[in-house]
Amino acid sequence: MLIIENLTHVYGNGVRALDEVSLTIPRGMYGLLGPNGAGKSTLMRTIATLQAPTSGHIRFGDIDVLKDPEALRRVLGYLPQDFGVYPRVSAYDMLDHMAVLKGISGRKERKDTVESLLVQVNLWNVRNKAIAGFSGGMRQRFGIAQALIGDPRLIIVDEPTAGLDPEERNRFLNLLAEIGENVVVILSTHIVEDVSDLCPAMAIICDGRIVREGAPTDLIRQLEGRIWKKTIDKAELEDAKKAHQVISTRLLGGRTVIHILADQDPGQGFAPVTGGLEDVYFSTLATTRCAA
């Protein structure tokens, strides 16, 4: 279990990227959902011991993460938002090199580790090709392979599906779900479906604060009877926004479908809808101070 208490991070320029964040993250897949600039990467990098917070505490099992970052690194697998450079070396050689860095010094053990990871992430057939030539999805699967070296007990993946096509996204998420059964996996994302498809527990972060937390099914249930839908012309949108708490708008066949949050039937042609996690997310952003 990962326990985060009152974590605050203020950057040198005065931006308060994390503001008293407290979270208890159990084993399994945990979704951290938030718009751009919410503080997700700052939180992920802080947990991964890549930057020290201004204040707060993080514990993982019996490890005091901020006091003993080395201990955390030994059990951590981290897939950053952006690797930056993609080398011209082969996937096999790169993984082998990273396994050395992770301390797997025995030749036989390393060979077994690297080979089984390449099979697990479905890159065995391209193991001798340069990573520089990989597609986005292949790079992300390589990223997961390197994060899994040494059987980590805490895995952090930062916005892993951005830019993947639907097939690669599915393949990647299925892989994560398989891994996520026995360890703590934190999936940071601004894509609602990534969380609704996979995570039994989640939090929404905005402006550096946790603004909602729980199981997606419970959060959806809390909205029961409060989400209403209507199809309007685009020209009517401004008036609708003035009259109602519009939480989402979507174009459909040239018209605009709006969802609003209302405790009672708003009439005017609105129909009740069964909310989804997207409604939870957008209503949370709309009713807290943060702007998506």
Residue numbers of the site for ligand ATP (CB under 6 A)?
Answer: 11, 13, 15, 17, 34, 36-42, 190
Nearer to ligand ATP, 204 or 219 (CB): 204
User: What letter would DSSP give residue 90?
Assistant: B
Beta strands in 11-52 (DSSP E): 16-25, 28-33
- Cβ neighbours around 292 below 10 Å, total: 15
Structure-token pair, residue 228:
């209403």
Q: What are the backbone angles phi and psi of residue 172, rounded to the nearest 5°?
A: -65, -45
Report whether 159 contacts 189 (CB < 8 A). yes
SS3 185: strand
> Taking the complex as a whole, how short is the minimal distance between the CB of residue 35 and ligand ATP, in angstroms?
7
Nearer to ligand ATP, 36 or 105 (CB): 36
Structure-token pair, residue 240:
């609708």
141 sits in the region (left: phi over 0; alpha: psi -120 to 50; else beta) called: alpha
> Taking the complex as a whole, how short is the minimal distance between the CB of residue 41 and ligand ATP, in angstroms?
3
> Taking the complex as a whole, how short is the minimal distance between the CB of residue 118 and ligand ATP, in angstroms?
29
- Cβ neighbours around 213 below 10 Å, total: 14
Nearer to ligand ATP, 17 or 290 (CB): 17
Structure-token pair, residue 261:
């949050």
Nearer to ligand ATP, 37 or 56 (CB): 37
> Taking the complex as a whole, how short is the minimal distance between the CB of residue 196 and ligand ATP, in angstroms?
18
> Taking the complex as a whole, how short is the minimal distance between the CB of residue 230 and ligand ATP, in angstroms?
31
Nearer to ligand ATP, 164 or 227 (CB): 164
Nearer to ligand ATP, 42 or 283 (CB): 42
> Taking the complex as a whole, how short is the minimal distance between the CB of residue 162 and ligand ATP, in angstroms?
8
Q: What are the backbone angles phi and psi of residue 188, rounded to the nearest 5°?
A: -95, 130
Beta strands in 105-243 (DSSP E): 154-158, 184-189, 201-206, 209-214, 227-232
